[in-house]
Structure 1
Amino acid sequence: MPTSQLPRAVFAMDPVHLPALFPPRLMARLTSLARLDPTLVVQDFADPRAAGALAQAEVLITGWGCPPVDTEALAAAPGLRALLHAAGSVRGWVGDAVWERGITVSSAVDANAVPVAEYTLAAILLAGKDAFGLRERFRTEHRFPAPAGFATVGNHGRRIGIIGASRVGRRVLELLRPFDFTVTLHDPYIDDAQATALGAVPLPLDELLRTADIVSLHAPDTPETYRMLDRRRLALIHDGAVLVNTSRGALVDPGALQDELVSKRISAVLDVTEPEPLPADSPLYGLPNVFLTPHIAGSLGNELERLGRTVVDELTLLCAGSPLAYAVRRADLVNSA
């Protein structure tokens, strides 16, 4: 395609992410597909320095730190026909005006699900070996536990409860297939046949919580899922079980969770919390049965290139007039992150 016929594109995100999202080889592909200034990264759609580029933009390439794309933003970019998001969910920053104008929206949410699922698998396997608890004992006692101390340790036959057949949840289910686990699933939006096809035994939420050795949360943060693990439901998790949360802290009652963890009745691997981060005086930082990480399960470092590659591949399809592989529909956002 002659350069004059290439669509005009503009970056809109926190510029700190740009080099990792689009390293030189990907940036070269991108600039072969669209006319864009790699040095212009919009952080404010009202910035007069971006006005000229936005006025001609047909494609907006967004990422973390992108300002809301609302009516005012679209007024600055009257020719916009596609938003390609080099990150996860578009909910919360893509306004109603985008959908009403029929602008095509795509997201790298599937690509971002990959490292989250990998983190979750690692957490499940390590939790099954009680690696987190044994590490704390080893650090303080400086000796190997007696053989009797391993009686409840191991991954053979573990019952893994997955809450939410989201993109991450489905990828976790796929990654769990090679292991000797019994996997159960709760998701009100899929039927028993779909759950079985995903390799899981469908269960009501309360039954899943009662029977799982390791519970892993993968539901979206919606009004329906807010505090879905409240005090009553957390109490259903059996003694010694582990809760893994790589989804959102809002899904769990923070006070009830803290009480359960302080009592040491259950353990947890928490990559997300509410609030986030926890206050400095939170007891969860020092509990031996809590493994806290600073929201690292999603794409970081060299994993960002996967997100950028998704955008470049989507732009390739857009330029060819083909349907996008990861198009987002407005209706999809009701029950998704």
Structure 2
Amino acid sequence: MMKPKVGFAMAADKTKYVFDAAALERLEQSCAIVRREPLEEFDSPAARALLAEIDILVTGWGCPMVTAPVVASAPRLRLIAHAAGTVKYTLDPAVYAAGIAVTHAADANAVPVAEYTLAAILFSNKRMFELRDRYRADPGRKSSYALTNAPIGNYQRIVGLVGASRIGRKVARLLRPFDFTVLLSDPYVLPGDPVTEDAELVSLDEVMTRADVVSIHAPSLPSTRGMIGARHFGLMQDGACFINTARGAVVDEAAMIAELQTGRIHAVIDVTEPEIPAPGSPLYTLPNVFLTPHVAGAVGTERLRLGQLAIAEIERFVAGRPLEFAVEPELLERLA
């Protein structure tokens, strides 16, 4: 029996480590790799020739849009395995119309995001970023010692999660060993959902009012755009921390900046709207903001998980078993 043929489509400069030598060797146990170098476009004769030959397309960050003409150029294609997070902005509806199965590695990408969030919660409750700045400005430690006598730290604090996404659920599980009260706001979570074993289901207003740290894990949808606004920031306690590793569009950024400029709250921000803040944005310079360049997800060797999950899904598909992380058309609309 001939092995199904596999091709890759992703930006090589964005996907280092996703498929190392060991991963490719594993993939070759179940598939025939047509070409190891990934396509970065679908329009050239060479790209169209490869598309015509493959049964499985492995995509990743930087993959061009899989449009109807691309699907038409790949008559044998039966599976798209996305070795990255959301596949939402990669697929045209023509993919599903052609009966092509889709899977993604969002669950693997969620692991480092949850880890980043845990670290941010622990550091924020202990005011580590402020302590760093105080120590730099005052090596005698007088100002640092003054802050350590304030009601800070990680014992018996309240953590609020907004969104029971795969990341939100992983964060809730990671918080189990700590002396936290964990609150969760998500209108789609019903009593009896397993996540309620790790978090108390409450309203969004209650999360914003009670939590010492609020962490956002909601998808970016038309219905969630700007869902955290001035009123919500006004509900936060003095000294509370706001963490966003989800999508910048979920937050009214102007309202967030206005509240941060008062100095009343602080924030750990990994995602913004637009993706890169405008030059001169206060987010770059506010002392109570820890800003990172959208790196909570898989970076460096963390990307190995993405390739490994994609290969595991391909192995299931080739063996005729159900995909564990299939992306159905109706799910696509709810993805981040």
TM-score when normalising by structure 2 = 0.96
Task: Tell me the alpha carbon deviations over residues 36-64 of structure 1, each in whole angstroms, 9 at most, x when there is no partner.
Answer: 23344212212111222211211110000
CA RMSD in angstroms comes to 1.4
Give the letter aligned to residue 335 of structure 1: R
Does the C-alpha gap of structure 1 residues 40 and 76 become closer, same or farther in structure 2, counting only changes over 3 Å? farther
Any gaps of 5 or more consecutive residues in structure 1? none
1:185 aligns with 184
Match of 1:77 among 71, 74, 77: 74
Match of 1:45 among 42, 47, 58: 42
2:91 aligns with 94
Q: Which runs of 4+ in 1 moved over 4 A?
A: none
Give the letter aligned to residue 149 of structure 1: L
Question: 1:184 Cα deviation (Å)?
Answer: 0.2
Secondary structure of 2:17's match?
helix
Question: 1:162 Cα deviation (Å)?
Answer: 0.2
| 1:1-337 paired onto structure 2 within 5 Å | 2=1, 5-144=2-141, 145=143, 147-150=145-148, 151-194=150-193, 197-337=196-336
Give the conservation status (yes or no) of the 8 Å contact 2:82–2:310. Answer: yes
**Greater shift in the superposed pair: 8-17 or 293-302:** 8-17
The structure in which a higher percent of residues are helix is 1
Question: 1:328 Cα deviation (Å)?
Answer: 1.1
Give the conservation status (yes or no) of the 8 Å contact 2:7–2:36. Answer: no
**Greater shift in the superposed pair: 317-326 or 297-306:** 317-326
TM-score when normalising by structure 1 = 0.95
Does the C-alpha gap of structure 1 residues 17 and 331 become closer, same or farther in structure 2, counting only changes over 3 Å? same
Aligned residues: 334
- In 2, Cα distance between equivalents of 1:238 and 1:197: 24
Question: 1:123 Cα deviation (Å)?
Answer: 0.2
- In 2, Cα distance between equivalents of 1:74 and 1:38: 19
Question: 1:32 Cα deviation (Å)?
Answer: 2.6
Task: Tell me the alpha carbon deviations over residues 194-227 of structure 1, each in whole angstroms, 9 at most, x when there is no partner.
Answer: 2663411111111110111100000000111100
Any gaps of 5 or more consecutive residues in structure 2? none
Percent same amino acid at aligned positions? 46
Question: 1:34 Cα deviation (Å)?
Answer: 1.6
